[in-house]
Amino acid sequence: MSSEQKPKVPSVRARGGKVVALTGASSFLGRNLIGILEEDSSVRRIVAIDIVAPPTAGPKTRLYEVDLTQPGSEVRVAEVLAAEEVDTVLHLAFLSSPSHAAAYAHELESVGTMRVVTACRSSRVQKLVQWSSTFLYGARAANPNFLTERHPLRARLDEPFFADKISAEQEAGRFAARTTGAVVTILRTAPILGPTVHNFLTRYLAQRVVPTMMGFDPLVQFLHEVDAIAAFKRAIDRDVPGTFNVVGQGVLPLSTVVKLSARLALPIPHPIAKSFVRATWFTQLGELPDALIDYLRFLCVADGERARRELGWSPAYTTREALDDFLSAQRLRDVRLLQDPAHRSEATRGRAPAT
């Protein structure tokens, strides 16, 4: 398609303030952002696209029950975006943890993103903000100390948890390239940690005995849940196209993380760990695929300078402070004085449990 043939997006937002649509609206990120947008005077209306009503929905929020895994859902999403005069789509419909339901995950993330992008294009949406992950850079022995946005995405493509998210980024990139004037912002967040978030990282650190790889002690990096929410709010408020690493300041050795967590580290030789994890994942007895073992061996930490410089976002919490906040809540959960967020977290079908 030539530049003269590219569909143009409207240059002026709907009167009376922004209209923001969120996919995965009942996810951790979605429901928290809806709560913030409800209080934002610059936002006229919020469009929640999900099959479950977000608990933070207020008078500004309208829920549309759409399952992005279903064929033809792009038509319904396009109708909603056009009817509500949406100018900003916040695409959060991604799994925060690997799933044994690989076909469903593919339909939700890879195909689902294609459907969202198609709906944005046909309804002439001006702006798309999409969630992604720094884990997509891949954990490799040759990685530099801090990976910038120019580094290629080299996570293992044989693992659907990574491959579908990389495919989703490519869909967003095609939308940006083919739509004149569109603002496409992709936020690659470090693993999100905090007192209320629930994902594979929080489950890993909540174990009494934490497996590690014998002979390896990689540096790790976290993002506080509050900083993650603030970064997406900044991306909504500012029209800054591009891809941005959103990370907490500083790094910690994995051994220090385990020690601070007051857990017992269990070093396991890599070949044994890989065979065991692969077997338990295949039989659906384990929670994580063997591809994530790489992140217990090798470095995968990102540089957040571009987000600070261009997006105007800086983390309020360091990696250590994000860990400390999580651990304070986890100690209460250990003695049953605080409910595990898994018990009140999102359902597993029809939307993304986004952290």
Condensed to tens digits (0 to 9), the pLDDT of residues 184-230 reads 999 999 999 999 999 999 999 999 999 999 999 999 999 999 999 99
Per-residue pLDDT for 353 more than 70?
no
Q: Where residue 349 falls among pLDDT bands split at 50, 70, 90?
A: very low
pLDDT at 101 over 70: yes
pTM recorded for the entire structure: 0.92
Residues of 95-108 as b/e, b for ≥16 C-beta within 10 angstroms? bbbbbeeeeebbbb
- For 276-313, how does the pLDDT look when each residue is reduced to its tens digit (9 = 90+)? 999 999 999 998 999 999 999 999 999 999 999 999 99
CB contact set of 81 (below 8 Å; sequence gap of 6+): 21, 47, 89, 119, 120, 123, 125
The DSSP secondary-structure symbol of 13 reads P
* Distance (Å, whole) CA 16 – CA 41: 10
Residue 4, pLDDT > 90, answer no
Q: What is the pLDDT of residue 340?
A: 79
Q: Residue 289: what residue type?
A: P
Pairwise CA distance, residues 82 & 192, whole Å: 33
Give the model's pLDDT for residue 15. Answer: 57
Helix 28-38 / helix 225-237 crossing angle, nearest 10 deg: 60
In percent, how much of the chain has pLDDT > 90?
89
- What is the predicted pLDDT for the residue at 343? 57
- Does pLDDT of 97 surpass 70? yes
How far from each other are the two terminal CA atoms of the chain, in whole angstroms?
A: 37
So what's the pLDDT on residue 65? 97
> Running DSSP on this structure, what letter comes out for residue 318?
B
Kindly report which listed range (36-40, 215-219, 337-341) carries the lowest average pLDDT score: 337-341
The pLDDT score that the predictor gives to residue 87 is 95
Q: How far apart are CA 256 and CA 97, in angstroms?
A: 23
What is the token pair recorded at 28?
A: 């951790």
* CATH class of residue range 15-258+285-344: alpha beta
Q: Where are the domains of the chain?
A: 15-258+285-344
CA pair distance 239, 255, nearest whole angstrom: 40
Strand-pairing partners, residue 131, are: 187
